Structure 1
Amino acid sequence: MNFRAWITAIGDMGYALSRLESDPDYSDSESSPIGDDNDSQQSSSQNDLDHEVAQLTKLRSSPHDRLKRVLPRRGEVNVSPVKMLAGREGNYSGRGRFSSADRHHILNKYLPVKGPSIVDQLSTRGYVSQFSNDGSLFVAAFQGSHIKVYNAEMGWKLHKNIVAESLRWTVTDTSLSPDKRFLIYATMSPTVNIVNIGSAATDSHANVTEIHEGLDFADDNGLGYSFGIFSAKFSNDGRELVAGSSDDSVYVYDIEANRVSLRIQAHTSDVNTVCFADESSNLIYSGSDDSLCKVWDRRSSRSKGKPVGILTGHLEGITFIDSRNDGRYLISNGKDQTIKLWDIRKMSSNAARTPRFRNFEWDYRWMDYPVRARDLKHPSDQSVATYKGHSVLRTLIRCYFSPEYSTGQRYIYTGSHDSCVYVYDLVSGARVARLVHHTSTVRDCNWHPYYPMLVSSSFDGDIAKWEFPGNRENPTPLNNSRPRRQYFD
């Protein structure tokens, strides 16, 4: 059989066996985006993204050209999984396997929207959800002193039950070391604690059953000034931490030397979020209540005092930043109820002044965002795209790129004050899923690095697991006998 006849046969088989092939707009009732029946409006960015990152994302999710050909000069965008599998068996690429773009094209269709099943239920607010880099462990932290580490590969068995030390108000952040041996947790204090989660004991009560070593970020000036750590992350090699604090600073801590190696007076207000830009750990992103994202290069002599660039566009404080891990693109969640996508090549050396649009008082901790402010835009907005629809109120709600391995980072997802999880298409800006279960604010959620699985934690105390509809695991029934805390804020 010549190649043209072979590819025609594959197309015929795909048409016969795949409803996705026969009707590109088809989606069954289980895999369609979840939301209220009367909420059909698809929140989106203001226009379809026309930027290099859109082209890169499309290329990452485009199947082999031979499979896209239907007729001469005519191709199909949505090639069915049946056709893809048949093409792999026929070795259309000459490599005997899927390319990463082929894999992304298939797995992009399988969003984790089924469920949820309940991993655990606590009587206190959930603040942090985090998978390890390989997806084998999952960390959940709560407003009380509890941090729980689950083995996601062994039926979500409790791997470590940690009772925190030096707790002030809540556990604000956690981070797993790349080798999964250690976990750090931060609270509203200048001390970040580190725990050996590889030890044999399941229970780890700070300095009672196990030692939780304190890493002190405070200056040795004897002034006793107290501040809190909002965000803390391991470097890729596990030797350093980067942290953002309530004293408007960005810190880098050298774990081996057991000291702060760099402190930058970075912003004019709380630094709510920090992260390394890529695996090299040379670039650092920071976001603050002063509404600015800043980029810091540790190789630059200016890094001690001035950023190498500033990204302007949010009208209110920034609650979280996530890097695409390429040293170029990042997203930020803002109290102006938007997620913004940034390209650091568009950054400026000076911050454009945020317009004084407020003629009213507003506090995101207890007030709704003013209707009159929802359509305002910064006149010097440097962002590449803006995504709207979710709600950023009451707490530092987080947002992320979807995983590289399974989706090619095609999506952006976030928790929300309206108790839901939102998933947006990075290129079109369309809302592709809205996950409804929780009864209070979803501060954090995390997508498994390899599988179509997403876990959310909420102020209602639930840790909820969402999966692709094809997974036959039965959801764990809710334990309705447990007293549930009600939150009306």
Structure 2
Amino acid sequence: MTRSRKNAKSCDEPSVARGSSSATSSGNFDHEIAQLTKLRSGPNEYMSKMLGRKSKDLISPVKMLAARESNCLRKSKFSTADGCHMLNRYLPVNGPYLVDQMESCAYVSQFSSDGSLLVAGYQGSHIRIYNVERGWKVQKDIVARSLRWTITDTSLSPDKRYLVYSSMSPIVHIVDLGSSVVESLANVTEIHEGLDLSIANGEDDYNNFSIFAVKFSADGREVLAASSDNSIYVYDLPTNKRTLRILAHEEDVNTVCFADESGHLIYSGGDDSLCKVWDRRCLASRCQPAGTLMGHLEGITFIDSRGDGRYLISNGKDQTIKLWDIRKMSSSSACVTSPRNYDWDYRWMEYPAAFKDMKHPNDQSLATYKGHTVLSTLIRCHFSPEYSTGQKYIYTGSNDGAVYTYDLVSGALVSKLSHHKTTVRDCSWHPYLPIMISSSWDGMIIRCEFPGDEENPPPLKRRCHRRY
């Protein structure tokens, strides 16, 4: 969607994921997050000893259940980590099952925080909200207002009462989902209020730009946005005005998110290939980032926070996902961008094969994951759910029509779901159930799950794809 520079010709078939230079040759890395992940997603040491677990072997769920029932574990229920250890072997890989299909590209697919709703945004102005608990029935069909090119992003408020959506425009629209209206046609059957980010304190900045990402704050009072004018915006809903603009990057800001529920820290990523950390408590005294993370060779398409205010992952146009610890960030004055001496545009060109193994000379990332392709659009990546997996995995869409899942610690490719004919821009893992949703430019919203509720899923009707 946004423009990243530089290219050459074609790219070889990507290899299976591996760790970055900070990892050992086996792909493992010795870092605090590796230990935290193991504590969250594996059985405790006492259980391992009781059941005679050998190194790196999975404990049988039958043995775990038998030990609990016989009171060998000296407790009446499993810990959260025990539960994750059992659930981690049941990945959402069965299917595919068609949720919906439209004639336009599907750009966004995200579960609500409780998993009861699925939001999908399409290029052809539709945003559909599906009720997961009622057989994926369309609960609300929103026809966007003042659409420019496509729906770029959507975000549900924490209470699921409101939805904001963005387009290639400085105006973000908000819809009240509490009404009984199913067919929500902008300003005909329902009001879609416009939040104009180009206006501050009643004065127009006279700046026409695009919004690429929007996020509700944890308390639902603010909307955070990333834009093509190199800026981050914050809009305050109770006062109905823009309260913050940060000139954040040297090029388009493609992605932005809150680091945790406090809302103090913000992560951003742009086409200048940098991830930046912003502390809102310090912005009044100096409008500078708290720190910068270097390592990507090309623009950053998406950032996902682990939710702890410390770790994040980023998807890059250099065909990699990187894992970061903000304690390793540098000051902006010490930041060094990787030199570009080739002409390449990711929207219609393959990534140069000669550059796929290049490394940033000052790479600060903890690990690098390869295998998927980040081309044509701002493809998204995410941490797997905490409840069912202990955030043991990261997963991403890909230009080759697949969803890739990597083991966070080892970097191994755990699964590859190849059910689309073309670009998967977004994907979402249910926060509690083994269900994975993917949205593709073939217009389909597809779900995979474990164990699967259909013995013989109906054939998917595919349409001819037109490249946008």
How high is the TM-score relative to the length of structure 2? 0.92
Structure 1 residue 69: Cα displacement: 2.0
Deviation of the 1:70 alpha carbon: 6.2
Q: Any idea what the Cα deviations from partners look like across 1:315-353, whole Å, max 9, x if unmatched?
A: 100000000000000000000000000000000112532
Give the letter for the 1:279 counterpart.
E
> Between Structure 1 and Structure 2, how many residues are aligned?
447
Q: Aligned AA for 2:181?
A: A
Give the secondary structure class of the aligned counterpart of 1:84: helix
Find out whether 1:149 has 2:129 as its counterpart. yes
SS of residue matched to 2:100: strand
Partner of 2:64: 84
Aligned match for 1:275, one of 257, 266, 272: 257
1:301-320 pair list within 5 angstroms: 301=283, 305-320=287-302
Aligned match of 1:45: 19
Q: Deviations over 1:49-87 (max 9, x none)?
A: 221100110111221333312688966741111111112
Displacement, 1:456?
0.2
**1:187 equivalent in alignment to 2:161:** no
Cα 1:215–1:223 shift into 2, 3 Å: closer
1:415 aligns with 2:397: yes
Post-superposition offset of 1:484: 1.1
Return 5+ residue gaps in structure 1 as ranges. 1-38
Give the equivalent residue in structure 2 for 1:109.
89
Percent of pairs with identical residues: 62
Matching of residues 450-489 of structure 1 within 5 Å: 450-468=432-450, 470-474=451-455, 476-478=457-459, 480=461, 484-487=463-466
Structure 1 residue 182, shift from structure 2 partner: 0.7
Aligned positions of 1:245-394 closer than 5 A = 245-301=227-283, 305-350=287-332, 351-358=334-341, 360-394=342-376
Report the CA distance between 1:475 and its aligned residue.
5.6
Cα pair distance change 1:130/1:304, threshold 3 Å: farther
Q: CA deviation at 1:252?
A: 1.0
Q: Secondary structure at the match of 2:130?
A: strand
Of residues 116, 137, 140, the one that matches 1:136 is 116
CA contact (8 A) 2:95 2:452 kept: no
Report the 3-state secondary structure (helix = DSSP H, G, I; strand = E; otherwise coil) of the residue aligned with 1:171.
coil
**In the superposition, relative to structure 1, how do residues 122 and 454 fare at CA in structure 2: closer, same or farther (>3 Å)?**
same
SS at match of 1:280: coil
1:116–1:475 CA contact under 8 A, matched in 2: no
State the alpha-carbon separation in 2 of the partners of residues 467 and 303 from structure 1.
49
String of CA shifts for 1:236-264, please: whole Å, max 9, x gaps: 11011111111111111110010111111
Equivalent residues of 1:68, 1:76 under 8 A apart: no
Q: 1:478 to 1:243 in 2, by over 3 A?
A: same
Pick closer, same or farther for the CA change 1:270–1:73 going to 2, 3 Å. closer
The match for 1:33 is: none
C-alpha root-mean-square deviation of aligned residues, in Å? 1.9
TM-score, structure 1 as length reference: 0.88
Question: Matches of 1:221 and 1:396 in 2, distance apart?
Answer: 31
Query: How far apart, CA to CA, are the structure 2 residues paired with 1:115 and 1:229?
Result: 34
- Specify the code of the residue in structure 2 equivalent to 1:293: C
Aligned CA distance change for structure 1 residues 157 and 474 (closer, same or farther; 3 Å): farther
Question: What amino acid is the match of 2:338?
Answer: P
Indicate the SS of the match to 2:276. strand
CA distance in 2, matches of 1:85, 1:391: 41
Matched-pair contact (CA < 8 Å) for 2:198–2:204? no
Rg bigger for which structure? 1
Q: Partner residue of 2:210? A: 228
